[in-house]
Amino acid sequence: MSKRPWWLGAVVYQIYPRSFQDTDANGVGDLPGIIERLDYVAGLGVDAIWVSPFFRSPMADFGYDIADFRDVDPLFGTLADFDRLVDAAHRRGLKVVIDQVLSHSSDRHPWFLESRESRDNPRADWYVWADARDDGSPPNNWLSIFGGVAWQWEPRRRQYYLHNFLTAQPDLNFHNPAVRAAMLDNLRFWLDRGVDGFRLDSINFCFHDAQLRDNPPKPEAERVGRGFSPDNPYAFQYHWYNNTQPENVAFLGELRALMDAYPDIATLGEISAEDSLATMAEYTGPGRLHMAYSFELLTEEFSARQVRETVAALEAKMTRGWPCWAISNHDVRRVASRWGSDETAERIAPVLTAMACSLRGSVCVYQGEELGLTEAEIPFELLQDPYGIAFWPNFKGRDGCRTPMPWSDGDHAGFSRTTPWLPVPDAHRARSVSRQDREADSPLQRFRRFLAWRRRHPALVRGAARMLDAPEPVVAIERSHDGCTLRAWFNTGGEPRRFASAEAANLRVLDDHGLVSGSVRDGHVELPPFAVVFGQA
């Protein structure tokens, strides 16, 4: 196993720096805080950390609006702190993946400040500018993910600029080769500092349709899924022209050539497209991204059928690439709340993690997932997320999954010595790391035991996969590698399940994975609530 690329089947632990550990008592987490907690992270049994943005930024979108792609924001520390983080992680056997936002910058970035001044300056064509229609309205009907039109008027140029996200996040013009070269140079800067890979934010948004054609309307019945609720006007269109353009594939080839000039680097693309599974397949493989993930398993709704059909559809399309799965991250409600409840969170969380880690692919695990944390309820007056503020009360934004990591049940949950940027719920302090460390069967302890067990089974790390039929709410998976076949059934519900299964015949049950275990008898699978069965053929 040591000869495989490190990212193949890796478990990547996502750290949201603002909310991980505060060391300078300003209520916001920082890079020294991540260093302070690396022993904990390494002890989970993960392979890598993914560090969300820490670059210089006005923080309109909490770091995804970057004003300097090559520096650390003072809120999080210094470049020297980052270098110490990379070294400390490597000494613990952890790879370091960092976010990179290629499609846009902050409106405070020097490039944009220059570009907006006139139509003939050296960077005039570095962003997406367009003339108004004859009546002064925007050049087309494109919409912003964060609500409203995707165009902002700039009086200096008497033109509109494109922003697929906030108005403070103008889109870069990737049709300009100088822009592409500059962004690749920014990646090279971090590669030279020793990073092991990049998580590429909204990677299918780099190019726009050069003809600026209108997006067609979407029927009301189809305005669901992909993370956009039907009360967001973004859901009213097919987004055929403002992202996922053919030119993007050629750029991925340029990006991959840079990665291949360094040893053992991984790229992980975030995909949100009209057919995200098809785009994942198209964007991954030789000469393209190493792997990609989408929002298909980050939905509010859950069913075993949904998981089975999503995985089967991707397996059919992705013949050359490698998938990555995520069931939680910093953009969606915590999975223990989405697919469980406050009452079932501690029991369902280890089962869902084990299920995700048994799919073919790599896995991203969001901080706190190992604790079974639920979504925090943040009152309107304490909201920070502009997305939530704009769509309140139908959508409460992303603050509920971004609250500080609960290290203890003491003041501010051991996260900070002062009031943190978001409040820590009492329910999270009750599920703190210090408490779960003392409980033999806590979600945290089950998480650690399962990941250690997974490492001993190559079929789960890099084997072929097949989804099996099973009654709701049971997810069933088969993994095979080098003559070894494992089959697994995951009961994601609170009621016991017993059912016949041809795949259950002649299996040797493996019950040393640290989770609540079911059994196989006489061709039947028997699962207590929130239990799993692993069997070897």
CB atoms within 10 A of CB 363: 24
Active site residue 270: yes
What residue spans of 77-147 are helical by DSSP H? 79-91, 110-115
Beta carbons of 405 and 389 less than 8 angstroms apart:
no
3-state SS of 39-70?
HHHHHHCCCEEEECCCEECCCCCCCCCCCEEE
Beta carbons of 107 and 114 less than 8 angstroms apart:
no
* Cis omega (within 30 of 0) for bond into 393: yes
Nearest to 265 by CA among 54, 91, 5, 89: 5
Which DSSP category does 285 fall into? S
d(CA 384, CA 392): 12
The per-type count for the chain, helices as H runs and strands as E runs, is 15, 21
Q: Is 282 left (phi over 0), alpha (psi -120 to 50) or beta?
A: alpha
Which tokens go with 72? Answer: 């650390």
Please pick, among 99, 201, 375, 385, the residue that the annotation labels catalytic.
201
Print burial letters for 68-97: b (CB count within 10 Å at least 16), e (below 16): bbebbbebbbeeebbebbbebbeeeebbbb
d(CA 351, CA 445): 13
Residue 474: beta bridge partners? 491
CB atoms within 10 A of CB 468: 17
- What is the per-residue DSSP string for 172-233? B-TTSHHHHHHHHHHHHHHHTTT--EEEEETGGGS---TT-PPPPB--GGG---TT--TTSG
CA-based torsion, 229, 234, 237, 243: positive or negative: negative
Please pick, among 30, 47, 154, 270, the residue that the annotation labels catalytic.
270
Active-site positions read 201, 270
